[in-house]
A and B are shown apart, each in its own frame.
Chain A
Amino acid sequence: MAAVADRAPLRTQSDVTRRIVLGVSLVLLAAATIVILLPFVWMVATSFKPETDIVQFPPKLLPSDVTLQHYTDIWHRIAFGRLFVNTLIFAGGVTLISLFFDSLTAYALARMEFPGRDLLFILILATMMLPFQVTLIPIFELLTKLDWINTYQGLIVPRATNAFGIFFLRQFFLSIPKDLEDAARVDGASEFRIYWRVILPLSVPALLTLGLFHFMYNWNDLLWPLVVTTETSMQTLPAGLALFMGQHVTEYGLLMAGSVLATLPLVIAFLLIQRRFVEGIATTGMK
């Protein structure tokens, strides 16, 4: 496979032109980044402003009085630690199980031959097209019948597999050279062994990538955990943060402080796997 790590540009232009192009690129990127980061700067700045300074005119982006009040208060106002753990269990559980199930299915779709393979693939893709607003209620009815309301299995099992994940991994598996598998098959290895020992280890970038997608999607999901659980002991972070949005009065400082704390794990996760992330997408057969 061609190396997908960051590479140096081609030395085909004169030094001066190259510097100019780089300079302009840098300016454009900086401009784009400023626009893109603006809401986040506002969020973080607001989390450090005293509540009375948040709604004012003329508006100020940065705080004139910095306060840590919101960051200390938030632990009293909601059970932040408990919410964090619940969200970790939910998002982490869905991610791990989904990665396992999705990869099994993707492997079958990419590497095995059986009647109805392509049709099945299209059907799986089609499930991505119906909005959840209409499937929420039938799923809830099912969970009620199974008596899975307010349980972890009720939260996790309906999300245990994901059409996009299957799609994504299938592409990735298709691009892995067949030689290694064929050698293993000749040696008499079972399919599962090949999947487990050969394919999965080669797929770490893609798995990390998909894992991050699943994790962040479920970490930020408000409605699903809210509908499936009623016990406050099982609430997730988005539900806890939503408690600061009153019908008439929103407690912006606390809300933003909570959001910063809640988003931090995702940001850290992304920064850690950035490199392998790009690698992961590069080899999903889109060349």
Chain B
Amino acid sequence: MARNGSAGVLAAPARRLRDGVAYWGASPLRRRRILTAYAFMAPSLLVIAVFLVWPMIRAFQVSFMDYSVLGGSEWIGLENYRNLLSDPAFRNALGNTLYYAAITTPASVGLALGLALLLNQAVPARGFFRGAIFLPVVTSLAIVAIAWTFLLDPDIGLINYWLAKLGVHSGGWLRDPQWAMPAVILVGIWKNVGFYMVMYLAGLQSIPREFYEAASVDGATAWQRFRRITWPLLANTTMFVFIIAAIAALQAFDQIYVMTRGGPFFQTETLVMQIYRLGFTEFEMGYAAAISWVLVLLIFVLSLLQVFYFSRRVVRY
């Protein structure tokens, strides 16, 4: 089966722009090809230009202003950016975000891989398990967070009640500055693990079984088969899943907004939560915009780093 050398999509940046042949120096046929390409992309590009790029430009512009949306804005240059460098609240949010991402990403990906490996066997009711584990992805987080808040209530919630029966003394969960972040991480992992698991399932199922058969003939153990065959051949999937998971984790907002609003006393405030708080409740949209551009930079740099890290390990065959 012919495989494209560009299978590693995120290795695209590493490719040189071979297509840099200028339009005007091209033959009429080539010109027509280029026009056709842009014609195909025109609808998307139009929507993106108007409803994504323009707001981004506006957000960039606003980050240099003292802007409240309701009027009375003024240009202040780099002041927003200078302020956030010395703002302890920003550093707190940055730290929380990095901590959250550093735990959630590997945990979700690892758990997803584990579940996929389990489900890749002939266990009964596979469809049921797959559907059940995917269910959190499909539901509205706002509603399901209410369910979690009830379950995690330290005094009248089921989880602490059951734990107490087992003799385990449990924490204050969302009310406790020590436990609030773990609770929020738990819900974050819970929400997305099904999605990553399904990706891994797909990746697992496209590994040719001949490889495993050959390995067993050679007397390899299960662990060796995993380490030498499964894991390397999943590298592409792992890269994709890891990067998507990281981007989602760095932008964590929904469950934090519903469950803790960033509290207790800002212990769970991530960057996007802070952006919301500053922009919508304190009317400092300019400052919020500046923070969001710092976030974009952070995501971009981390994504690039991950691409470089994984590209070298991707197996092409």
A interface with B by C-beta (< 8 Å):
1-2, 4, 6-10, 12-13, 21-22, 25-26, 28-29, 32-33, 35-40, 42-43, 46, 55-59, 61, 100-102, 104-105, 107-109, 112-122, 124, 126-131, 133-135, 137-139, 141-142, 157-158, 160-161, 163, 166-167, 170-171, 174-175, 177-179, 191-192, 195, 216, 220, 222, 238, 241-242, 250, 252, 255-256, 259, 262-263, 266-267, 270-271, 274, 277-283, 285-287
- The 9 lowest CB-CB distance pairs between A and B, nearest first, are A282-B202, A138-B55, A12-B216, A39-B147, A135-B55, A138-B58, A220-B140, A105-B44, A281-B202
Question: Do the beta carbons of A278 and B41 come within 8 Å of each other?
Answer: no
Q: Kindly list 5 other residue pairs between chains A and B, CB separation below 8 angstroms, not including A12-B212, A137-B285.
A: A9-B121, A36-B136, A37-B135, A42-B150, A285-B8
B interface with A by C-beta (< 8 Å):
1-4, 6-9, 12-13, 15, 17-23, 33-34, 36-38, 40-41, 43-45, 47-48, 50-56, 58-59, 62, 69, 115, 118-124, 126-127, 129-144, 146-148, 150-151, 155-158, 161, 190, 193-194, 198-199, 201-203, 205-209, 212-213, 216, 222, 233, 236-237, 240, 247, 251, 253, 272, 275-276, 279-280, 285, 288-289, 292-293, 295-296, 299-300
Question: Do the beta carbons of B9 and A167 come within 8 Å of each other?
Answer: yes
Question: Do the beta carbons of B122 and A22 come within 8 Å of each other?
Answer: yes
Question: Do the beta carbons of A241 and B143 come within 8 Å of each other?
Answer: yes
Question: Do the beta carbons of A4 and B7 come within 8 Å of each other?
Answer: no
- Known contacts being A12-B213, A37-B135, is A26 close to B124, with CB within 8 Å? yes
Q: Which residues of B contact A4 (CB under 8 A)?
A: 202, 205-206
A124 and chain B: residue at smallest CB distance: B48
Q: Which residues of A contact B18 (CB under 8 A)?
A: 113
Q: Which residues of B contact A252 (CB under 8 A)?
A: 146
Question: Do the beta carbons of A161 and B19 come within 8 Å of each other?
Answer: no
Decide if the interface of chain B is mainly helix, strand, loop or mixed. helix
CB distance from B298 to the nearest CB of A (A): 9
In angstroms, Cα B200 to Cα A271, docked, is 18
Q: CB < 8 Å: which of A101, A126, A170 contacts B9?
A: A170
- Known contacts being A105-B41, A114-B33, A130-B59, is A270 close to B17, with CB within 8 Å? no
- Known contacts being A135-B55, A142-B50, is A25 close to B118, with CB within 8 Å? yes
Q: Which residues of B contact A175 (CB under 8 A)?
A: 3-4, 7
Q: Which residues of A contact B202 (CB under 8 A)?
A: 4, 278-283, 286
Most chain A beta carbons < 10 A, residue from B143, B207, B216: B143
B4 and chain A: residue at smallest CB distance: A174
